[in-house]
């Protein structure tokens, strides 16, 4: 009698493995003829712009899309070239990327993680996008970044400010140009201490989700290091529209500063409510009561209107910067669209150019080659001074702007004024403090 | 004690908005038997009446500012409202400043017309259909309306400030003998509360003391019998739909300075207002008002730091918890008619 090695359990295990292999979605495997996912074989290359086109951040998404369209125009040799003229790398020639004409498809993230993943997946699977970029939320960025990692394409994040994007949720295929919560805290704290003193009592209202937590932690840590005391930190529901019941007890707490760790509609409403309650007119502990908004965007400032006057915050970039890169971008964007670009537009435009430049320098669209070209890449001329794409966490390190709501705006876009350009050395941190693991690059092969 | 007083005050203005929206909702349910999920959109349209009138008042022409340049280096052009040219700068500025209260006059005919068109054009076709159909069609209408508003006004909130005479806050604490700054309350929220009381009083008076109101109340109690008396109750109910739309719209007009209007604000209030109607009793007008204020105050208390520390997340679920308890123990709501929602 011959002994057979075939067992019922073995057959089941093998069957399961084969079944899993067959069932594996096609986006996770490059076609047998291609060396990597969506390798461009024709005369064009397709990029996927995944921005909020509907939902609460639709206006921000529209500005991102304008910036991407401008970047594509410049990459293909149209327009005045914008920042390509000031970019320290001279690899881009205005003939597309690696000689291929740049085309694009767009997706609607709706600022919902599942919708953003679905639209990114569709652009990769159906439209053959070789890179995905954009977005206005950290939740979306983390979700899409993970998808791109699995699919074997590069993800160039749009507006995402949570530490987690390049911290505990970082991925080898994902890159962020935008700054983060830690940098906001590190940049803001000295300015706050300088203007409001070291003996302050802060009350935090924090949006009850990931970005809110990291921002609160960053601002608390930085301000407490300056001598401030945190008297309370209250989580507010993301869906809240009226913050009066959260703001009313602030004065009773003995706090003399209110920190609003809110973004978008939350920030507009909480700041409006705080100003309505007359907090800024109050004298507490013999000091003027102050409000701080750690992350500003122009669109938020517009929503809050006159309430932002005199209020400090931080921002990634502002159109009033006078370096050559910013001036070139503002001129291109302003001439094409009739108004200055937002920080979301700026970061998206820069991300598109950085990706294209990395492809040129790597000589390939292979995501692993592109990632290698981006890692540790130092550049200038893109609006934030000398910048480093740190290899350890794929986070850009550059100067951070501390801004203040302008007292006498001359237009609906002229709402913030730059108070200080915080040098990069002051906002740099050890990549290991936020944990996470980049893992290895996946090209989908 | 001061913290409790403070949260009661907060709850009153929040409750004012709930009560005004719920009042219209329950009025429509009580008269037409329609569950109108587009009612939140009417609140939102009201708020955008304020935005529209503010923008109309602010229509401007460009005037070059000598010696100054814009972001592209071109000569800076400043907006000068036409109202300044017509009435002079100070009067023109005052008219723009008072745009929100003046929007009440602007919004009433618009909201009546919107309500009338909505009822005649769509909702009357669903009177005899199941509530599920009514909910679907009115919810769909709400989405269409908010997308139309988003198309024309954008997705961002639009700041619509109260008149400068009402900015800042009133120190109730000092008035009641507490330390200064312990109980402060914004002037405009006081105005909103007073406005809500006036509107609610006006609706009740209209229904209680006019012949029209008497017929409507009779129709709410027994539509068939009123019809048999030869009274065209449908026409009156259509007018009531318009009035309910106007109430929601006015609630939105005056709410605009409290939170900058955005296309989604109706949806934010809709679900809570439905809970208010259910808690108050479907079809009960006093129930809607009572439940509106009650839930507004409860929501405020649940948002206190001490309460959240004790029961984390209570601020997000308190209203729904109350609704569950009421539905389990008294399905017809606090002041609902016997038999309604009990089968």
Burial class (CB in 10 A: 0-12, 13-18, 19+), B5: middle
- Torsion sign (Cα): A137, A139, A140, A141: positive
Asked if pLDDT for residue A24 goes beyond 50, the answer is no
Class of domain A44-179+319-394: alpha beta
Residue range A402-424: mean pLDDT, rounded? 91
Q: Quick one: DSSP state of residue A162? A: -
Say whether A13 sits in a helix, a strand or coil: helix
Domain that holds residue B241: 2-60+98-329
Tell me the pLDDT band of A21, cut-offs 50, 70 and 90.
Answer: very low
CA dihedral over A380, A386, A387, A390, signed as positive or negative: positive
- Across the interface, of B161, B169, B303, the residue whose CB is closest to A245 is B303
pLDDT, tens digit, 9 for 90 and up, residues A81-138: 999 999 999 999 999 999 999 999 999 998 899 999 999 999 999 999 999 999 999 9
Give the closest-approach CA distance of B259 to chain A in angstroms.
6
* A410 interfacial to chain B (CB closer than 8 Å): yes
Please check whether residue B52 is in contact with residue B255, taking contact to mean a CB–CB distance below 8 angstroms. Answer: no
In Å, what is the CA distance from B193 to each residue of A152, B19, B127, B205, B256? 57, 10, 34, 18, 14
Q: What is the DSSP string of B208-270?
A: HHSHHHHHHHHHHH-HHHHHHTT--HHHHHHHHHHHHHHHHHHHHHHHTTTS---TTHHHHHH
Confidence grade of residue A30 (pLDDT, cut at 50, 70, 90): very low
- Cα(B291)–Cα(B21) distance, rounded to whole angstroms? 12
List CB contacts (< 8 A) between A254 and chain B: none
Residue A284 contacts residue B34 (beta carbons within 8 Å): no
Separation between Cα atoms, residue B180 and residue A362, nearest integer Å? 66
Alpha-carbon gap, residue A139 to A142, rounded angstroms: 5
Q: Classify A182-315 by CATH class.
A: alpha beta
| Integer angstrom CA distances of residue B115 from A248, A289, B107, B217, B283 | 36, 45, 12, 20, 18
Q: Yes or no: say if B65 and B75 are a contact pair by the CB < 8 Å rule.
A: yes
Give the pLDDT confidence of A177-205 residue by residue, as tens digits. Answer: 999 999 999 999 999 999 999 999 999 99
A337 touches chain B (CB under 8 A): no
Q: For residue A175, what are the β-bridge partners? A: A156
- Establish if B91 belongs to a structural domain: no
Inspect the interface and report whether the beta carbons of B259 and A340 lie closer than 8 Å.
no
Structure ipTM: 0.81
Contacts of A331 in chain B (CB under 8 A): 72
**Is residue B230 included in any domain, yes or no?**
yes
Inter-chain contact B315–A237, Cβ cutoff 8 Å?
yes
Distance CA B322, CA B343 (A): 21
CA–CA distance, A356 with B100 (Å, rounded to integer): 50
Angle, to 10 degrees, between the axis of helix B285-302 and the axis of helix B314-329?
Answer: 140
Size of interface A-B (CB pairs under 8 A): 130
DSSP helix/strand/coil, B69: strand
Residue A212 has pLDDT above 90, yes or no: yes
The helix-helix angle for B187-209 and B2-32 (nearest 10°) equals 30
Q: Which positions in chain A touch B150 (Cβ < 8 Å)?
A: 58
Q: Do B182 and A252 touch (CB under 8 A)?
A: yes
Query: What pLDDT, on the 0 to 100 scale, is given for residue B1?
Result: 67
Chain B partners of A284 at a C-beta cutoff of 8 Å? 181
Q: B309 is written with which tokens?
A: 């520390």
Question: Could you list the mean pLDDT of each consecutive 10-residue stretch along chain B, which spans 343 residues?
Answer: 80 87 87 86 96 96 88 87 95 96 96 92 87 90 93 88 90 81 87 94 92 88 86 88 94 93 89 86 87 89 85 86 89 76 50
- The Cα–Cα gap between A425 and A75 comes to 32
Mean pLDDT of all residues in A5-31:
48
Alpha helices (H) along chain B = 2-32, 39-57, 82-87, 89-97, 99-121, 131-153, 172-175, 187-209, 211-221, 223-228, 233-255, 265-280, 285-302, 305-310, 314-329
b/e map A244-280, b = 16+ CB within 10 Å:
bbbbbbbbbbebbbbbbbbbbbbbbbbbbbbbbbbbb
A234 inside 8 A of chain B by CB: yes
Residue ranges in A35-112 assigned as alpha helix (H):
58-75
pLDDT at A13: 55
> Cβ of B292 under 8 Å from any chain A Cβ?
no
pLDDT of A23 strictly over 60: no
| Residue B314, min C-alpha distance to chain A (Å) | 11
| pLDDT: which is higher, A342 or B233 | A342
The better pLDDT of the pair A153, A15 is held by A153
Identify all chain A residues contacting B268, using CB atoms and an 8 Å cutoff.
239, 241
Q: Is the pTM of this model over 0.90?
A: no
Which residues are within 8 A (CB) of A264 and not within 5 positions of it... i.e. 6 or more apart? Answer: A56, A57, A300
Which residues 340-399 on chain A approach chain B with CB closer than 8 angstroms?
Answer: 340
Q: Quick: pLDDT tens for A230-282.
A: 999 999 988 788 898 889 889 888 999 999 999 988 898 899 999 888 898 88
Concatenate the DSSP letters of all residues of A167-215 into one string: TTT--TTEEE-S--HHHHHHHHHHHHHHHH-S--EEEEEEESSHHHHHH
Integer Cα distance of A61 and B156 in angstroms: 11
Q: What number is the average pLDDT over the span A312-337?
A: 96
Q: Residue B341: inside a domain, yes or no?
A: no
Per-residue CA distances from B121 to B115, B118, B139, B270 (Å): 10, 5, 15, 22
Q: Which of B6, B10, B18, B71 has the most A C-beta neighbours within 10 Å, making it the best mutation to test the interface with A?
A: B71
Residues 116-135, chain B, touching A (beta carbon < 8 A): none
What residues in A contact B270, CB-CB < 8 Å? none
Q: Is the pLDDT of residue A438 over 50?
A: yes
Question: Parallel, antiparallel, or unpaired: how do β-strands A174-176 and A154-157 relate?
Answer: parallel
B222 CB-contact burial (10 Å; exposed 0-12 / middle 13-18 / buried 19+): exposed
In a domain, B75, yes or no: no
Question: Which pLDDT does position A8 carry in this prediction?
Answer: 47
Kindly determine whether residue A244 and residue B189, on different chains, have CB atoms separated by under 8 Å: yes
Specify the pLDDT at position B27: 86
- pLDDT surpasses 60 at A18: no
- How far is residue B31's CA from residue B221's CA, in Å, rounded to a whole number? 9
Whether B67 maps to a domain, the answer reads no
Q: Do A245 and B155 touch (CB under 8 A)?
A: no
Identify whether the C-beta of residue B252 lies closer than 8 Å to the C-beta of residue B242.
no
Distance CA B338, CA B343 (A): 10
State whether residue A102 is helix, strand or coil.
strand
Residues 6+ apart with CB under 8 A from B90: none
Q: Where in chain A is the domain with CATH 3.40.50.2300?
A: 44-179+319-394, 182-315
**Look-up of token digits 């019941």:** A245
Give A297 or A181, the one with higher predicted confidence.
A181
Q: How many domains does chain B have?
A: 1
- Where residue B253 sits, what CATH number does that domain have? 1.10.3470
């Amino acid at each position: 009698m011959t002994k057979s090695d075939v067992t019922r359990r073995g057959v089941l295990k093998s069957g399961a493995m084969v079944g899993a292999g067959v069932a594996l979605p096609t986006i996770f495997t490059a076609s047998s003829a291609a060396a990597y996912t969506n390798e461009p074989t024709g005369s064009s290359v397709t990029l996927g712009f995944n921005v909020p086109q509907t939902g609460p951040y639709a206006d921000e998404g529209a500005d991102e899309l304008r910036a991407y369209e401008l970047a594509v125009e410049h990459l293909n040799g149209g327009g005045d070239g914008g920042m390509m003229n000031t970019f320290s790398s001279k690899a881009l020639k205005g003939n597309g990327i690696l000689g291929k004409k740049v085309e694009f498809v767009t997706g609607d993230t709706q600022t919902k993680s599942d919708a953003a993943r679905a639209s990114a997946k569709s652009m990769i699977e159906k439209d053959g996008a070789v890179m995905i970029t954009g977005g206005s939320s950290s939740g979306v960025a983390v979700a899409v970044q993970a998808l791109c990692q699995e699919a074997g394409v590069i993800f160039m994040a749009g507006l995402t400010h949570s530490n987690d994007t390049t911290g505990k949720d970082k991925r080898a295929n994902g890159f962020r140009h935008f700054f983060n919560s830690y940098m906001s805290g590190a940049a803001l704290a000295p300015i706050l201490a300088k203007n409001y003193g070291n003996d302050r009592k802060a009350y935090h209202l924090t949006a009850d989700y990931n970005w809110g937590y990291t921002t609160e932690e960053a601002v608390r840590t930085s301000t407490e290091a300056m001598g401030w005391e945190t008297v309370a930190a209250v989580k507010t529901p993301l869906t809240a529209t009226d913050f009066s019941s959260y703001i009313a007890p602030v004065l009773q707490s003995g706090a003399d500063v209110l920190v609003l760790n809110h973004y978008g509609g939350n920030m507009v409403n909480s700041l409006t409510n705080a100003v309505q309650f007359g907090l800024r007119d109050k004298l507490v502990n013999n000091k003027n009561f102050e409000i701080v908004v750690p992350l500003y965007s122009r669109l938020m400032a517009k929503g809050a209107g006159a309430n932002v006057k005199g209020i400090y915050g931080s921002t990634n970039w502002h159109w009033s910067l006078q370096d050559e890169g910013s001036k070139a971008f503002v001129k291109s964007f302003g001439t094409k669209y009739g108004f200055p670009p937002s920080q979301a537009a700026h970061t998206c435009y820069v991300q598109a150019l950085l990706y294209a430049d990395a492809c040129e320098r790597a000589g390939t669209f292979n995501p692993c080659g592109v990632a290698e070209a981006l890692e540790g890449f130092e550049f200038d001329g893109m609006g934030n001074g000398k910048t480093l794409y740190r290899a350890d966490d794929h986070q850009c390190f550059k100067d951070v702007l501390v801004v203040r709501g302008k007292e006498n705006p001359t237009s609906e876009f002229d709402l913030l004024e730059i108070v200080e350009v915080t040098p990069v050395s002051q906002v740099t941190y050890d990549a290991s403090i936020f944990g996470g693991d980049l893992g290895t690059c996946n090209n989908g092969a | 004690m001061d913290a409790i007083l403070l949260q009661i005050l907060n709850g009153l203005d929040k409750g004012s908005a709930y009560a005004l929206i719920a009042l219209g909702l329950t009025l429509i349910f009580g008269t037409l038997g329609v569950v109108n999920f587009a009612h939140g959109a009417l609140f939102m349209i009201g708020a955008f009446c304020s935005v529209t009138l503010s923008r109309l008042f602010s229509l401007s022409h460009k005037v070059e500012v000598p010696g100054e340049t814009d972001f592209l280096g071109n000569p800076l052009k400043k907006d000068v409202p036409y109202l300044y040219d017509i009435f002079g700068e100070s009067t023109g500025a005052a008219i723009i400043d008072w745009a929100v209260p003046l929007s009440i006059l602007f919004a009433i005919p618009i909201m009546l017309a919107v309500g009338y068109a909505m009822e005649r054009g769509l909702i009357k076709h669903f009177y005899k259909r199941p509530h599920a159909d009514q909910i679907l069609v009115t919810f769909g209408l709400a989405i269409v309306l908010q997308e139309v508003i988003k198309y024309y006004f954008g997705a961002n909130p639009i700041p619509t400030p109260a008149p400068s005479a009402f900015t800042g806050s009133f120190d109730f604490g000092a008035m009641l003998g507490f330390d200064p700054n312990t109980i402060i309350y914004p002037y405009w929220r006081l105005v909103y509360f007073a406005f809500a009381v006036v509107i609610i009083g006006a609706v009740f008076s209209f229904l209680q003391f006019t012949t029209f109101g008497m017929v409507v109340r009779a129709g709410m109690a027994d539509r068939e019998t009123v019809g048999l008396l030869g009274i065209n109750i449908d026409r009156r109910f259509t007018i009531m739909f318009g009035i309910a739309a106007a109430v929601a719209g006015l609630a939105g007009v005056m709410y605009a300075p409290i939170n900058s209007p955005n296309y989604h604000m109706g949806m934010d209030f809709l679900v809570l207002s439905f809970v208010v109607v259910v808690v108050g009793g479907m079809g009960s007008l006093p129930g809607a008002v009572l439940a509106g204020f009650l839930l507004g105050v409860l929501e405020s208390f649940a948002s206190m730091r001490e309460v959240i520390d004790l029961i984390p997340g209570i601020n997000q679920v308190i209203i729904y918890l109350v609704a569950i308890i009421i539905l389990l123990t008294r399905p017809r709501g606090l002041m609902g008619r016997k038999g309604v929602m009990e089968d």
